[in-house]
Amino acid sequence: MRRLILVLALGLAAGFFLHAQRTPNSFYAPFEVKALFPPETSPGQFRQVSSAELNQAATDGWELAGVVPYIYRNEERANAPTNPKPMVTQTYPAYFFKWLRRTTR
């Protein structure tokens, strides 16, 4: 009888232990993502994302999630004939937005 109680107690303890180790059902909020990249005006020439586009995204309810340098551009500009050409680096960032997807259930 004691052996049966011990086996049942160990089995019950193992069942609780295994139940506690399972992964819970994770809930991920469904987000929509929007990206604004610097537009290419001509081959190899870009312009910055305008502040009007950024303001419009914010007005529409998009939340800024990240800003990443998207294009690095190096240019040489001469100041005088005797000076060496200094290197100028321009950065064109890309903007990433998110918002909670509206579900109709």
Q: What is the DSSP letter of 104?
A: -
Cβ density class 52-64: b for 16+ within 10 Å, e for less: eeeeebeeeebee
Question: What are the tens digits of pLDDT across the range 15-52?
Answer: 888 877 776 666 677 889 999 999 988 887 888 999 99
Least confident among 2-6, 12-16, 24-28, 99-103: 24-28
**Pair of tokens at residue 33:** 């993502």
- Structural contact between residues 73 and 46, judged by C-beta atoms closer than 8 angstroms: yes
Q: How many CA atoms lie within 13 A of 92 on its CB side?
A: 18
